A and B are shown apart, each in its own frame.
Chain A
Amino acid sequence: MMRFSVFTYAAIGFVALAAGAIVLPDWAMFLFAMALAKGLVCLGIVGMMRGGVVSFGQGLYYCLGAYTATLAANFLGVSDIFLLTLLSAAVCLLVGLIFGPLLSSYRGIFFAMLSLALSMVLYGSLSKMSFIGGTDGLNIGAPTFLGWAPEGRPLQTALYLYVVTIVVISGALMRVYFDSEQGLITQATRDNELRVEYLGASVRTVMAYNYAFGALLGGIGGTIAVLALGHVDPEFAFWTTSGEFVFVAILAGYLSVPAVFFAAIILELVRSFSSLYFPNTWQLSLGIFLLIVIVTLPSGLGSLVSRRKGQNT
């Protein structure tokens, strides 16, 4: 069978998404940008899922990234989007490298709840810090792009293309990782830790890597989200925010990278349409949707396109 390279897929993905900059109306472009930013966070969860754990606390990095960018913009006067992204990515990676090894010996519910606890600690702390806005949060101004300071539709378009670029690059890199030797070891870990340890690899190291990647992606996602929204508050770290990320990850499954962003877009669409048409029951619609997904697609959307027989055991 002919196998296209990751780069071909990335190029196709980029063109398809970038076309959105021309065809999408303002509201949809904003929705897609937010969905893709959140998709980045979810991609991090999917990376962990491949190793057999699910973090219920990715809001931690989403929030940390958003606050880092906002504080850098408000107090250090940084407005360049590349610099902001780099800064929050670095901060989140650092925090991820600290917590990763600590969390790496936990599995299942314990991993999920501990990561959730960490995000709730951030939520609690930020809510109490009135000097950076407390529960009201902070505003952030429009970013600049290497000195260029667009406004209105051009700003929105630039931001959208920026997130598309990052999504395509991160998606491609994660695909390369998933298909790599380390990626295969991660999959083996999900399946049989004992075997992996007895082959001479450290399961904890595998877990710590995946956690750190998740932190990095979470921080980048948070940065883009806050730039798109113009505002951040501690809710970014609240458990229901993290719950939605897990929702997207489960909806996508761990087989396909594009499925993650597809799932994120679906969730944003379902959310905005149900809040439009059922303003009082959008959570209800979301819950029912989630149940339907779990029942009908136990291996996620990705299983529709991937050849792998994920639930065959």
Chain B
Amino acid sequence: MDLVATILVDGLIYAGWLFIVSVGLTLVFGVLNILNIAHGSLYAIGAYASASLVGVYFAAGGDAFPYGSYAALILAAVLVAVILGPLLERGLLRYFYGRDEVLNVLVTYAVFLILEDVMKLIWGVNPYFVYEPYTLLGTVEMGSLFYVGYDFAVIAAAIIVGLAVWLTLNRTQIGKVVLAVIHDAEISQTMGVNVKRIYLGAFMSGAFLAALGGALTAPMISVTPGLGVNVIIVAFAVVIIGGLGSVPGAAIGALMVGISRAASVHLLPEAELFIIYFVMAIVLVFRPEGLFAKTQARKI
């Protein structure tokens, strides 16, 4: 198979993963106006939680029906969202709404630092491996190359996540309310919207998506401390490229970054580590607020 196709497939796989980890970040920013560094921690916690749950599943005789481990993955993400979402949003972030954006980045940086150690306290520093779900789907032959089926499952998951988020926002009643809150929280409040609930819901969804990204990744890697550090920076880049708060933007950003990185891996491996920032810088030069940001000239 030729290089272009290889780059495209690799790029799509990476983009799928990128989208899952970034869409929650952009959603949370859109609603709460907080760029959440702790998103990376939620990702890592999702990975640990799923490693644990999958481990428990197989220890409890899950071998009889190994596909159940996928449910364990998703359950792990749900648990993270349900436990940590309210804790962080109600317990901390809500006190910072409306404060300076950059200061709020620092607040979530503090949360990130705290959660890094909390993870070590809970899961220790030794790596966790749960490869079963990764091998379960076999391999896919494309031309002369073999791909792991699970990689394609990640692309599918990304598409499902993207559609679900988009449809919820644009085709449901609750989505309309969320969009109204994004547009103007104060006006929505006076029109009887329970803004608090929307904030909590949005943050929990974001936490779920972060944890889901981690949970889906856990079978592909060894889960070790420091997992969230790099993820958050990559996700930031994607979200900035797409335009903060834009779901389609996150999709386009993920595709651009995914494919550029795949291209760089195959064509110019030295550039792999910073191609992401390169793409981001180029986009920002031409669109200073990202691709899908709505820019408004201030009336004076």
Contacts and interface: CB of A to CB of B under 8 A. Distances in A.
Interface string A271-311: 00000000011111011101100110010000000000000
Interface of A: 54, 56, 102, 105-106, 108-110, 112-114, 116-118, 120-121, 123-125, 127-128, 194, 239-240, 243, 246-247, 250, 280-284, 286-288, 290-291, 294-295, 298
Given A54-B102, A280-B117, A128 B107 contact: no
A110 B288 contact: yes
Given A120-B274, A121-B277, A125-B273, A287 B112 contact: yes
Interface of B: 35, 92, 95, 101-103, 105-107, 109-114, 116-118, 120-121, 229, 233, 236-237, 240, 244, 270, 272-274, 277-278, 280-281, 284-285, 288-289, 298, 300
B144 to A, nearest CB: 29
Contacts of B121: 280-281
Contacts of A128: 270, 273
29 contacts: A106-B284, A109-B35, A109-B105, A110-B289, A112-B105, A113-B237, A113-B280, A117-B277, A117-B280, A118-B277, A124-B273, A124-B277, A125-B273, A128-B270, A128-B273, A194-B298, A239-B229, A239-B233, A280-B120, A281-B120, A281-B121, A284-B114, A286-B113, A287-B110, A287-B114, A287-B117, A290-B109, A291-B107, A294-B106
Majority secondary structure, B binding face:
helix
Nearest to B298: A194
B274 A121 contact: yes
Contacts of B273: 120, 123-125, 127-128
Contacts of A106: 284, 288
A140 B47 CA distance: 39
A284 B119 CA distance: 10
Contacts, number: 107
Contact of A250 (B106, B114, B277, B284): B106
Nearest to B280: A117
B109 to A, nearest CB: 6
B300 A194 contact: yes
A294 B110 contact: yes
B110 to A, nearest CB: 4
Contact of B102 (A108, A120, A283): A108
B274 A124 contact: yes
